[in-house]
């Protein structure tokens, strides 16, 4: 592992880039999935359309999406924005169903009680429905995070560097060390995202642990 | 005062849940809507706070037409309690109770103080404040539900089968405490239940609804038991209505038989000399009755486990039903009557209670019932 010692800061900077390319879309995707999921949950007729429609987005091969986006958006082909947008699309694809199901998991009597107390729709969503949907949404977010970390590496092929660059580098030189380091770093990043989401969820849902402790 | 003025509800699929319902829930009283499932009682309740919109008629709260009020404002002014409490699982007990005050924009501190005050009021320790609903039993959650409805001190409360989902013993406790609370607060309450016993126990007036949301009869519980207006109401009110109606008749000052009694630890000889007809009552240091014993069958000083505890105890001046039950349930056939502190006053026999019942007039039909039934009031003749 002398290679790693010599290139530690390069790997670190690639990892930073990787976090940026996988993480920002996770947040953007969630923000877009929230209203879409709410629509799917609130208006049951829309549910199949929204779920199947967004689900189909996930089936677009990532390389194809990376190459198509500049054509559609008029961005430069090497611009990392293409990757951010593509990853956001994948995140939305994974999260709309999760958000819809999470909101759907809020017990009817709780929603009715909230309405009867005099909550208006937006406030009810923010302070009753959304907090109660956190456990389900968080589970979906964990899947999306891992998926993002893995898909982002493909962006190397369109010249946007991140940990995936190590695979190409190792492959081109028939040299295992960078490939191994890249794989391990990707796994560590995925774990890091997972832990961050778990930690955030724990902070947002103290009531869940309290419930378990008593039963 | 809540007034239904020819209120109807027809759902989009054509079912008529409520049909031309007209009645008044007077200020400061409990009006119970009762009826079989499908009689539109819950629909009627939910039309008051516009969770369901009527398709015909008007609902007034005092002099305001609810259809013309802002929905959220209307609801914040009406306490709402439902089955299973419907607490917010993600909020602590104190923040659940403070819901409506916070919606009304109270200062957070003030809302919390108020919530703690109500927590005590509904009989829960303030140490529960920071717990979550899942950490409380069903009965405790229901108490919190009542506290939450009371938090902003609304003049009107709607209660939809609030005590149906808890076990019978807890239900009875909750009912008793609810009545005590209402005695202090005097809210205008509309209460929905399918349980006629509950309706009769809690209602100042009871509205019996029949299938399709028709008002079958609206009257006070004693009248309902004495004069069901038709077969439907009679069936619904149930069989032992003659016995149950005694709940609404106060006992007179019965001439009680003095009862000699013995304390725990008395010897068989002491018990024998105090016994009458083979039975003697055992009391504690405060003269509270503990149970009956047959002195002829004991050989050692009286211990608690020797007592026969089947007999109920009636308070002097309480309902006739309790006095009769005390006599009927007593192993010695002598019904135990106690004072307000629970101390022994004396005993009474079932025939004495029955004699009193025979003396009494049955409750008269009230005018609304007479009119409905097409009867004329009997003119009282002097002398």
Instruction: Return the structure tokens found at B149.
Output: 């409805």
Residue of A nearest to B79 (CA): A117
Tracing tokens 């169903």 back to the chain, one arrives at A97
Query: For residue range B328-350, what is the model confidence (pLDDT) as tens digits?
Result: 999 999 999 999 899 999 999 99
Quick count: other Cβ atoms within 10 Å of Cβ A102?
Answer: 24
A116 CB near a chain B CB, below 8 Å?
yes
Q: Name the DSSP letter for residue B308.
A: B
State the burial class of residue B381 (Cβ atoms within 10 Å of its Cβ: 0-12, 13-18, 19+): exposed
Query: By 3-state DSSP, what share of chain A in percent is helix, strand and coil, each rounded to 5?
Result: 85, 0, 15
B299-to-B81, B166, B261, B302 alpha-carbon distances in Å:
56, 45, 18, 9
Among A41, A140, A149, A42, which residue's Cα sits nearest to residue A93?
A140
Whether the predicted pLDDT of A75 surpasses 70:
yes
Instruction: Return the structure tokens found at A78.
Output: 């090497």
User: What pairs with residue B32 in β-bridges?
Assistant: B191, B206
Q: Is B346 left (phi over 0), alpha (psi -120 to 50) or beta?
A: left
**Would the CB atoms of A115 and B132 count as touching at under 8 Å?**
no
Least confident of A30-34, B250-254, B341-345, B358-362: B358-362
CATH topology for B261-359? CBS-domain (3.10.580)
**B190 vs chain A: nearest CA distance in angstroms?**
15
Report whether A167 contacts A153 (CB < 8 A).
Answer: yes
* Residues 6 or more apart in contact with residue A134 via CB below 8 angstroms: A102, A201, A204, A205
Residue A134 CA to chain centroid, in angstroms? 15
CATH topology for A10-205? MetI-like fold (1.10.3720)
| pLDDT (average), residues B210-216 | 89
Q: Name the DSSP letter for residue B155.
A: S
A213 CB near a chain B CB, below 8 Å?
yes
Query: By 3-state DSSP, what share of chain B in percent is helix, strand and coil, each rounded to 5?
Result: 40, 25, 40
Angle of the A46-57 helix axis to the A2-42 helix axis, nearest 10: 160
A128 chain-B contacts, CB cut-off 8 A: 88, 90
Residue of A nearest to B101 (CA): A117
Instruction: Return the structure tokens found at A186.
Output: 């990707």
Out of A113, A116, A132, closest to residue B90 by CB: A132
**Would the CB atoms of A214 and B135 count as touching at under 8 Å?**
yes
pLDDT band at A155 (very low <50, low <70, confident <90, very high): confident
The domain locations on chain A are 10-205
Query: For residue range B231-287, what is the model confidence (pLDDT) as tens digits?
Result: 999 999 888 888 888 888 889 889 998 998 999 999 999 999 999 999 999 999 999
A118 chain-B contacts, CB cut-off 8 A: 72-76, 100, 103
**B175 vs chain A: nearest CA distance in angstroms?**
21
Report whether A134 contacts B111 (CB < 8 A).
Answer: no
A115 CB near a chain B CB, below 8 Å?
yes
**Cα A103 to Cα A44: distance, rounded to the nearest angstrom:** 12
pLDDT band at A157 (very low <50, low <70, confident <90, very high): confident
Among B232, B234, B188, which residue's Cα sits nearest to residue B210?
B232
**Cα A86 to Cα A151: distance, rounded to the nearest angstrom:** 10
Complex ipTM: 0.83
Least confident of B71-75, B165-169, B221-225: B165-169
* Residues 6 or more apart in contact with residue B171 via CB below 8 angstroms: B163, B164, B198
Q: Is B28 left (phi over 0), alpha (psi -120 to 50) or beta?
A: left
Query: For residue range B112-126, what is the model confidence (pLDDT) as tens digits?
Result: 999 999 999 999 999
**Cα A33 to Cα A196: distance, rounded to the nearest angstrom:** 20
Mutate to test the interface with B, among A113, A122, A213, A214 (most CBs of B within 10 A): A113
The domain locations on chain B are 2-242, 261-359
B148 chain-A contacts, CB cut-off 8 A: 117
Res B4: pLDDT: 96
**Would the CB atoms of A110 and B131 count as touching at under 8 Å?**
no
Whether the predicted pLDDT of A48 surpasses 60:
yes
Res A145: pLDDT: 95
A214 chain-B contacts, CB cut-off 8 A: 134-135
Instruction: Return the structure tokens found at B376.
Output: 């004329």
Whether the predicted pLDDT of B362 surpasses 80:
no
**Would the CB atoms of B88 and A114 count as touching at under 8 Å?**
yes
Res A215: pLDDT: 43
Instruction: Return the structure tokens found at B239.
Output: 């069989």
B13-to-A108, B9, B16, B45 alpha-carbon distances in Å:
22, 11, 9, 20
Q: In CATH, what is the architecture of B2-242?
A: 3-Layer(aba) Sandwich (3.40)
What does the longest C-alpha to C-alpha distance in chain B come to? 79
**Would the CB atoms of B132 and A211 count as touching at under 8 Å?**
yes
**Would the CB atoms of A116 and B135 count as touching at under 8 Å?**
no
* Residues 6 or more apart in contact with residue B282 via CB below 8 angstroms: B261, B262, B263, B264, B266, B289, B290, B291, B292, B293, B302, B307
Whether the predicted pLDDT of B379 surpasses 70:
no
| pLDDT (average), residues B289-315 | 90
Whether the predicted pLDDT of B56 surpasses 70:
yes
**Would the CB atoms of B80 and A116 count as touching at under 8 Å?**
yes
**Cα A76 to Cα A67: distance, rounded to the nearest angstrom:** 10
Query: For residue range B186-203, what is the model confidence (pLDDT) as tens digits?
Result: 999 999 999 999 999 999
pLDDT band at A214 (very low <50, low <70, confident <90, very high): very low
State the burial class of residue B297 (Cβ atoms within 10 Å of its Cβ: 0-12, 13-18, 19+): exposed
Tracing tokens 């409380």 back to the chain, one arrives at B136
Res A186: pLDDT: 92
pTM over 0.90: no
């Amino acid at each position: 592992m002398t290679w790693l010692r010599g290139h530690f800061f390069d790997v670190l900077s690639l990892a930073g880039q990787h976090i940026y390319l996988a993480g920002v879309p996770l947040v953007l995707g969630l923000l877009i999935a929230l209203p879409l999921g709410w629509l799917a949950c609130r208006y049951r007729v829309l549910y199949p359309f929204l779920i199947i429609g967004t689900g189909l987005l996930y089936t677009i091969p990532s390389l194809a999406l990376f190459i198509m986006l500049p054509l559609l958006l008029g961005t430069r082909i090497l611009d990392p924005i293409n990757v951010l947008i593509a990853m956001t699309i994948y995140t939305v694809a994974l999260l709309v169903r999760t958000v819809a199901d999470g909101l759907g998991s809020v017990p009817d009597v709780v929603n009715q009680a909230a309405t009867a107390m005099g909550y208006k729709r937006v406030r009810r969503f923010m302070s009753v429905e959304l907090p109660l949907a956190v456990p389900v949404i968080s589970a979906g977010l964990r899947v999306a995070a891992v998926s993002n970390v893995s898909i982002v590496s493909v962006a190397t092929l369109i010249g946007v560097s991140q940990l995936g660059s190590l695979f190409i580098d190792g492959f081109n030189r028939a040299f295992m060390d960078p490939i191994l380091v890249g794989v391990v770093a990707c796994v560590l990043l995925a774990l890091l995202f997972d832990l961050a989401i778990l930690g955030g969820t724990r902070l947002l849902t103290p009531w869940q642990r309290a419930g378990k402790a008593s039963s | 005062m809540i007034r239904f003025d020819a209120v109807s509800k027809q759902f989009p699929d054509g079912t008529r849940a409520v049909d031309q319902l007209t009645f008044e829930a007077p200020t400061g009283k409990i009006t119970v809507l009762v009826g079989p499932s499908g009689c539109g009682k819950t629909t009627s309740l939910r039309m008051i706070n516009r969770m369901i919109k009527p398709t015909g008629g008007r609902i007034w709260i005092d002099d305001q037409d609810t259809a013309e009020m802002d929905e959220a404002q209307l609801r914040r002014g009406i306490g709402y309690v439902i089955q299973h409490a419907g607490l917010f699982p993600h909020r602590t007990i104190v923040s659940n109770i403070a819901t409506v005050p916070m919606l009304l924009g109270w200062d957070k501190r003030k809302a919390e103080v108020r919530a703690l005050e109500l927590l005590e009021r509904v009989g829960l320790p303030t140490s529960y404040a920071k717990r979550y609903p899942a950490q409380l039993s069903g009965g405790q959650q229901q108490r919190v539900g009542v506290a939450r409805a009371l938090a902003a001190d609304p003049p009107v409360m709607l209660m939809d089968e609030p005590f149906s989902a808890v076990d019978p013993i807890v239900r009875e406790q909750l009912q008793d405490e609810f009545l005590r609370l209402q005695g202090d607060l005097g809210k205008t309450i509309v209460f929905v239940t399918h349980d006629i016993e509950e309706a009769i126990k809690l209602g100042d007036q009871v509205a019996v609804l029949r299938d399709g949301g028709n008002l079958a009869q609206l009257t006070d519980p004693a009248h309902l038991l004495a004069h069901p207006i038709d077969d439907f109401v009679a069936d619904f009110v149930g069989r032992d209505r003659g016995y149950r109606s005694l709940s609404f008749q106060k006992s007179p000052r019965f001439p009680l038989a003095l009862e000699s009694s013995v304390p725990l630890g008395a010897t068989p000889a002491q018990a024998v000399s105090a016994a009458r007809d083979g039975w003697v009552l055992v009391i504690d240091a405060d003269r509270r009755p503990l149970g009956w014993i047959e002195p002829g069958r004991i050989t050692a000083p009286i211990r608690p486990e020797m007592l026969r505890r089947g007999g109920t105890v009636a308070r002097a001046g309480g309902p006739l039903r309790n006095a009769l039950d005390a006599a009927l349930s007593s192993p010695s056939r002598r019904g135990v009557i106690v004072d307000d502190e629970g101390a022994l006053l004396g005993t009474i026999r079932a025939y004495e209670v029955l004699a009193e019942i025979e003396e009494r007039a049955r409750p008269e039909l009230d005018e609304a019932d007479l009119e409905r039934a097409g009867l004329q009031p009997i003119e009282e003749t002097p002398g």
